[in-house]
Structure 1
């Protein structure tokens, strides 16, 4: 009999973190799962760790391939799932989960019948755990059987690993992870939000997202890497291409909403790195962000607040020296003395002892009446 849940774990050179990740999966209070570990051509001891885990726990099995990247490894895991599993989840191999994560997600989906459940995430480092900034707004409160059209901030819920999918929905959507680029999550997660009949939004943290403090840093920590910027813009363009290709009239409005979020929240994240980046990074920013801006309805840019509008105008005009000067001035403004002490305190840490309990299925909220 097939397990109810399949968990895909792509693995590449994470011997420092892998055992902790797999231990957290094995310790789940929901035990009816298989874990498909995909070694993506690791050159360190990761494959040996995975083999040892498969040998001691029959729920874990290892698939190996030559190095093709994270998107390809996730797709390989999906292709190697057991027949008949009901639910699907992804975990990055340097991260962990609290013990009750899958029990909460699966029980919620059993209750609602939604296409997938998505939950809150905490970042963690040696000093402790703290709220993931990117997940704080869409997961502020639990809402069952909802949709991105009811909670527009769900368009920022782009990570692959804070979700449990109904496998029939994932398979029928026919959207696999793009291969050969970084930031491959959004071209799958965002379309899924639009395609879903309903999703369950869970405010409890169901995922622990590591901040790497030793060895090679993660993709999201490389703020001035030109490739990261280029691939992030490409990720946005893949989402736009998917929305543009949909024939349904509602998707034209979805595209406008997505573009608005791109202009107001996504692209401004690059602004802070431009003054610190080298010439290659600034050239990549100007070239690739300008290409994206030219594809977006110019009326959307004209409707922005003046500071954003001016920065985009400077980008399009290739007036990068002025852009950098303006961004540095903005940075000085943000560092006013009355804000300095607040920022110096850093993120509010959460004790690990508070994370060991099985979260209760408090997801009893219903979306507001139409």
Structure 2
């Protein structure tokens, strides 16, 4: 008989973290699962660690492939699932889960019949755990059988691994992870939110997302890496292309709300890194962000608040020196405001 839950774990050069990740899966209070580990051509001892888990626990098994990247490894894991499993989850191999994560999500889905459940996330490093800023808004409170059109902040729930999918929904949606790019989560997670009939949103923290230490940064922590910027823009374009290609009017309406979120939340994340980038990084920013802005429509910029509007106009006009100068002033102001708030909070705590 097939287990109820399949968990896919792509693995590439994570010997420092992998045992902790796999141990957290093995320790789940929901025990009726299989864990398909995908060795994506690791060159360190990661595969040996995975093999040891497979030898010690029949629920774990290892699939091997040449290095193709995270998206391809997730797709390989999906292709190697046991037929007939009811639920599906993904875990990144440097992260971990609290023991009751899958028990909570699956018991919720059993009650509601929703297409998938998604939950809150904590970040962690050697100094401790803290709330993931990227997951604050959508997971402020528990909402069962909701939808992104009812809860707009769900459009920012782009990560692959804080979810349990009803496998029939995932399979029938037919959306696979893009291969060969970083930030491959959004082109799957965002369309799933739009396709779902109902989604369970849980305020409980069901996933622990590692922040790599300074001596071992992850690919996505390289903030002035031009490839990261290029691929993140491409990720947004893939979501837009999916929404644009849908024949139903409701998806064209959803495109407008997705574009607005890109303009006010996702693209502005680049602003903070541009002053630290070299000339080549700034040129990449100007080229790729300008292309995305034109795809969205430059007329949408007129309705934005003044600071955003000015930065986008400078970007489109290739006036990067002025952009950097403005952003440095804005960044210094924000840091000053943050320090003042921290001091006020500390003073209030002292009574």
TM-score by length of 2: 0.96
- 1:201 alignment counterpart: 201
Q: Which one is further off, 291-300 or 152-161?
A: 291-300
Counting matched residue pairs gives 345
- After superposition, the C-alpha distances for 1:56-115 in whole angstroms (9 at most, x for unaligned) are 100000000000000000000000000100000000000000000000000000000000
- 1:91 alignment counterpart: 91
TM-superposed CA distance for 1:297, in Å, is: 2.5
Change (3 A) 1:101 1:344: farther
CA-based RMSD of the aligned residues comes to: 1.3
Q: 1:63 aligned to 2:56?
A: no
- After superposition, the C-alpha distances for 1:214-246 in whole angstroms (9 at most, x for unaligned) are 643113311111000000000000000000000
- 1:236 alignment counterpart: 236
- After superposition, the C-alpha distances for 1:291-337 in whole angstroms (9 at most, x for unaligned) are 0000012232110001101100000000000000110111122133x
Equivalent-residue separation in structure 2 for 1:215 and 1:183 (angstroms): 22
Q: Secondary structure at the match of 1:335?
A: helix
Q: Secondary structure at the match of 1:330?
A: helix
Equivalent runs, 1:338-357 vs 2, <5 Å: 339-342=338-341
Equivalent-residue separation in structure 1 for 2:111 and 2:134 (angstroms): 27
Q: 1:166 aligned to 2:152?
A: no
- 1:45 alignment counterpart: 45
Equivalent-residue separation in structure 2 for 1:345 and 1:119 (angstroms): 31
- 1:133 alignment counterpart: 133
Q: Secondary structure at the match of 1:15?
A: coil
Equivalent-residue separation in structure 1 for 2:269 and 2:342 (angstroms): 18
Equivalent-residue separation in structure 2 for 1:161 and 1:280 (angstroms): 33
- 1:105 alignment counterpart: 105
- After superposition, the C-alpha distances for 1:180-224 in whole angstroms (9 at most, x for unaligned) are 000000000000000000000000000000011164311331111
TM-superposed CA distance for 1:129, in Å, is: 0.4
- 1:182 alignment counterpart: 182
By percentage of residues, which structure has more helix? 2
Change (3 A) 1:189 1:310: same
- 1:73 alignment counterpart: 73
Equivalent runs, 1:319-358 vs 2, <5 Å: 319-336=319-336, 339-342=338-341
Equivalent-residue separation in structure 2 for 1:39 and 1:257 (angstroms): 38
Equivalent-residue separation in structure 1 for 2:62 and 2:339 (angstroms): 49
- 2:301 alignment counterpart: 301
Change (3 A) 1:343 1:212: farther
TM-superposed CA distance for 1:344, in Å, is: 8.2
Q: Secondary structure at the match of 1:161?
A: coil
TM-superposed CA distance for 1:12, in Å, is: 0.1
Equivalent-residue separation in structure 1 for 2:101 and 2:117 (angstroms): 11
- 1:27 alignment counterpart: 27
Equivalent-residue separation in structure 2 for 1:342 and 1:77 (angstroms): 46
Q: 4+ residue stretches of structure 1 with deviation over 2 A?
A: 341-346
Structure 2, unaligned runs of 5 or more? 346-351
Q: 1:290 aligned to 2:290?
A: yes
- After superposition, the C-alpha distances for 1:257-291 in whole angstroms (9 at most, x for unaligned) are 00000000000000000000011110110000000
- 1:315 alignment counterpart: 315
**Whose relative contact order is higher, 1 or 2, with alpha carbons under 8 Å and at least 6 apart?**
1
Equivalent-residue separation in structure 2 for 1:186 and 1:115 (angstroms): 17
TM-superposed CA distance for 1:340, in Å, is: 1.3
